[in-house]
Amino acid sequence: MLLKPNSRYIYMGILASLYAAMQFIFSPLLGALSDRWGRRPVLLISLAGSAINYLFLTFSHSLILLLVGRIIAGITSANMAVASTYIVDVSQENNRAKYFGLINATFGAGFIIGPVLGGFLSEYGLRLPFFAAAILTGLNLLFAYFVLPESRKVTLENKQLSTLNPFKIFAGISSIRGVLPLVTTFFIFSAIGEVYGVCWALWGHDTFQWSGFWVGLSLGAFGLCQMLVQIFIPSHASRLLGNRNAVLAGIACSCLALAVMAFAQNGWMIFAIMPIFALGSMGTPSLQALASQKVSAEQQGQFQGVIASTVSMASMIAPMFFSTLYFQLQEKWPGAIWLSVILIYLITLPIILYSTRPVVQQR
């Protein structure tokens, strides 16, 4: 499959957008199915879809097949939502933040190891990383099939397929008291998270003249610090501060680090502030734990699917916003992009405070 150089980036954008669009539409549906069929079958479907997608990427010589693969991957991309629901099923409220932190750390470790392994394998063929990903996903599928138990008791009533319209699911979940502000908070956090992938490398080059090596090293250091935070901090933060205050403490740490980054003149300052920057993520498991209290056990899958859909929406909108903003700031002050993130936190703080207020739990 040969594409004109100028069109490759367009098609890369189309592939990414297709995946996000399918994820946005189908995450609530798969979450609802996990409420009716159980978590295990939906997780197996998700893993199978991922494996098929990687096989398409490995062997296809047609753009159409690549598009089909990404559509399948997007439709079945419920792994994080179902994993979050599984955590809710098997944990108690007093230790839920801890387990959310551990699963976040596991996904974070994958994002650290995956690019390194992919870069190494690509030296032996551009398609080899995709084939390796297909094999690893297949092994994960087999492990889940033979080892992973079902976390939710399934009844005949749960297996009914009525009201599985994804838009009705979104509307129904959002109508529950306190849910819409919380979903908005997840959108805010997810949108802010996109700025680092979009602007970090550009800012590092423009401010410190970082090469690709230093950009990669800084991202790796941040990923490692964040993974350690997710493993060791959330349970203590939730117990000592409470979930709501842990979320606010995380925002405070992020804003402190972002302020230093905005005015930093030397690259070593970024590495020095990295632990505090990583502490900004300590509130995420507490936010997830708070979210799990908003709906009944029978609606957890739908709710986690709606959250995954919201995260996907943020991944479609935020990169364009932050890239446009960065190029407006690039010549005069590249670091101002981080002040814009602080400003977003301040503007949206009333929503965050309202959404994380204590409410009567529905059970």
Contact 291, 359 (CB under 8 A): no
**Which pLDDT score is estimated for 155?**
59
Coil, strand, or helix at residue 273?
helix
Tokens at residue 78, please? 């419920």
For residue 298, count CB atoms less than 10 angstroms from its CB and return exposed for 0-12, middle for 13-18, buried for 19 or more. Answer: middle
Contact 279, 233 (CB under 8 A): yes
**Which pLDDT score is estimated for 77?**
84
Rounded Cα distance between 187 and 222, Å, is 22
Is residue 168 very low, low, confident or very high in pLDDT (cuts 50, 70, 90)? confident
- H helix intervals, 209-299: 212-232, 234-241, 243-263, 267-279, 283-292
**Which pLDDT score is estimated for 363?**
45
- In tens, the pLDDT along 233-249 reads 999 999 999 999 999 99
pLDDT at 186 over 80: yes
**Which pLDDT score is estimated for 113?**
86
Q: Is 296 left (phi over 0), alpha (psi -120 to 50) or beta?
A: beta
Rounded Cα distance between 214 and 263, Å, is 19
Q: Is 39 left (phi over 0), alpha (psi -120 to 50) or beta?
A: alpha
Query: Nearest Cα to 151, choosing from 96, 100, 86, 78?
Result: 86
**Which pLDDT score is estimated for 64?**
86
Mean pLDDT (whole number) for 178-182: 91
Query: Nearest Cα to 21, choosing from 171, 166, 197, 130?
Result: 166
pLDDT at 164 over 70: no
Is residue 126 very low, low, confident or very high in pLDDT (cuts 50, 70, 90)? confident
More confident residue, 121 or 362: 121
Is residue 9 very low, low, confident or very high in pLDDT (cuts 50, 70, 90)? low
In this prediction the pTM is 0.87
**Which pLDDT score is estimated for 252?**
98
- In tens, the pLDDT along 19-71 reads 888 888 889 889 988 988 899 999 999 999 999 999 999 998 888 888 888 89
Q: Which residues contact 24 (CB under 8 A, 6 or more apart)?
A: 309, 312, 313, 316
Rounded Cα distance between 29 and 255, Å, is 36
DSSP notation for 278-343? HHGGGHHHHHHHHHHTSS-GGGHHHHHHHHHHHHHHHHHHHHHHHHHHHHHHTTT-TTHHHHHHHH
Q: What percent of the chain has pLDDT over 90?
A: 60
Q: How far is CA 28 from the centre of its chain?
A: 15
Rounded Cα distance between 93 and 79, Å, is 22
The least confident of 231-240, 266-275, 279-288, 312-321 is 312-321
pLDDT at 300 over 50: yes
Rounded Cα distance between 196 and 118, Å, is 21
pLDDT at 88 over 70: yes
* CA trace torsion 317, 322, 323, 326 (10° rounding): 170
Give the domain ranges of the chain.
Answer: 5-144+165-355
Which residue in this structure is represented by tokens 């059970």? 363
- In tens, the pLDDT along 254-264 reads 999 999 999 99
More confident residue, 81 or 246: 246
Query: Homologous superfamily of 5-144+165-355 in CATH?
Result: MFS general substrate transporter like domains (1.20.1250.20)
What does DSSP assign to residue 266?
S
Query: For the stretch 175-200, what's the b/e string if a residue is b when 16 or more beta carbons lie within 10 angstroms of its beta carbon?
Result: eeebbebbbbbbbbbbbbbbbbebbb
End-to-end CA distance of the chain: 54
Query: Nearest Cα to 313, choosing from 193, 181, 164, 230?
Result: 193
pLDDT at 173 over 80: yes
Q: Which residues contact 30 (CB under 8 A, 6 or more apart)?
A: 42, 45, 46, 76, 78, 81, 82, 301, 305
Rounded Cα distance between 121 and 131, Å, is 10
Average pLDDT, the chain: 89
pLDDT at 136 over 90: yes
